[in-house]
Amino acid sequence: MTPDTETLAPPTGEDRLQLLQRLLTDTRLDADAAGRPATPVPAELRRAPEGGPLTALPAPASPRSGLDEVLLERTAVRDYAGTSLAGADLSAILASADRMDAEGWPGERAAGVDLELYCAAWRVTGVDTGLYRYLPQKSALCRVSSLPDGPQAEELVMQREFATAAALLVITGNLAAALARHGSHGHRLLLTRAGAAGHAAWLTALRLDLVGTVFAGLLPHVLRERADADGYHRAALFAFAAGSPART
């Protein structure tokens, strides 16, 4: 082993845990730094709650692997098996994305600058195929529209491989409220929050022995037509495709 490769060798044991803790602390510091003086969000820019049929989710599944075991081996996977995702696994993925945002940016949420998590479910046990909004307080999915299945599902995504995932998490944010509160910094902040939520979902999936990737190549018209996402009051920011690994 040359001195160069020794320097690049991934940390192990305690060093690895310390690296993870430092990365998480950096994420929190970024959230704190965003706490500069902010304008209150006008009431008309806050979203009113909406109704729809609910599907209760099971309690989130517990991780099957340690964070330090999966983090450094994490890689984007875009080929998925045709098997279904357990409802409890989806529940854990959605809960972790929401928890990341709730713990990282409580002030933003209290001020009315919320992230909304959507789930395009194709193969999830106990959940009919469809597009849903995740309701973290109720641990439930609120149906917002149907979704085509099979080859027609490819029309919903920019890259057809994402239509073969068992489920997609789509993270949207209230850009109008973010800009009203922070000016243009609000957009950057929303993207940071969506990135943190998407990566929390990814790490949770890995710890459940699932695979996937984050991506931002969403088709704006799909969410506009199906989820009333006008790109301003509700703007699609980031996504995570989840599934079981395809057999090779």
Which range binds ligand FMN by CB under 6 A, 6-14, 33-41, 123-131, 208-216? 208-216
2 lies in the site for ligand FMN, by CB under 6 A: no
Closest-CA residue to 134 (of 112, 116, 121): 116
Decide if residue 73 touches ligand FMN (CB under 6 A): no
Residue 75 within binding range of ligand FMN, rule CB under 6 A: yes
Closest approach of ligand FMN to the CB of residue 162, in Å: 8
Which residue in the set 36, 37, 217, 247 belongs to the binding site for ligand FMN (CB under 6 A)?
217
202 binds ligand FMN (CB under 6 A): no
79 touches ligand FMN (CB under 6 A): no
Q: Does 71 bind ligand FMN (CB under 6 A)?
A: no
CA distance 76 to 240: 10
When binding is defined by CB under 6 A, the residue of 213, 234, 235, 240 that contacts ligand FMN is 213
Q: Does 51 bind ligand FMN (CB under 6 A)?
A: no
Lookup: tokens for 114:
């919320």
Is 72 an interacting residue with respect to ligand FMN (CB under 6 A)? no
- Residue in the shown chain whose Cβ atom is closest to ligand FMN: 217
Residue type, 157: V
Residue 128 CB, nearest approach to ligand FMN (Å): 27
Closer of 2 and 75 to ligand FMN (Cβ): 75
Supply the minimum distance, in Å, between the C-beta of residue 78 and ligand FMN: 6
For the bound state, the minimum distance from the C-beta of residue 221 to ligand FMN, rounded and expressed in Å, comes to 16
For ligand FMN, the binding residue among 117, 215, 229, 235 (CB under 6 A) is: 215
One residue of 23, 56, 59, 76 binding ligand FMN per CB under 6 A: 76
Strand order across the 54-56 sheet = 54-56, 140-145, 130-135, 115-121, 167-173, 235-243, 211-215
The reply to whether 93 sits near ligand FMN by the rule CB under 6 A is no
Cβ neighbours of residue 201 under 8 Å, at least 6 residues apart?
93, 94, 96, 97, 169, 240, 242
Task: Provide, rounded to whole angstroms, the least separation between the CB of residue 16 and ligand FMN.
Answer: 18
Minimal distance in Å, beta carbon 63 to ligand FMN?
Answer: 20
What does the binding site for ligand FMN look like in residue numbers (CB under 6 A)?
Answer: 75-76, 159, 213-217
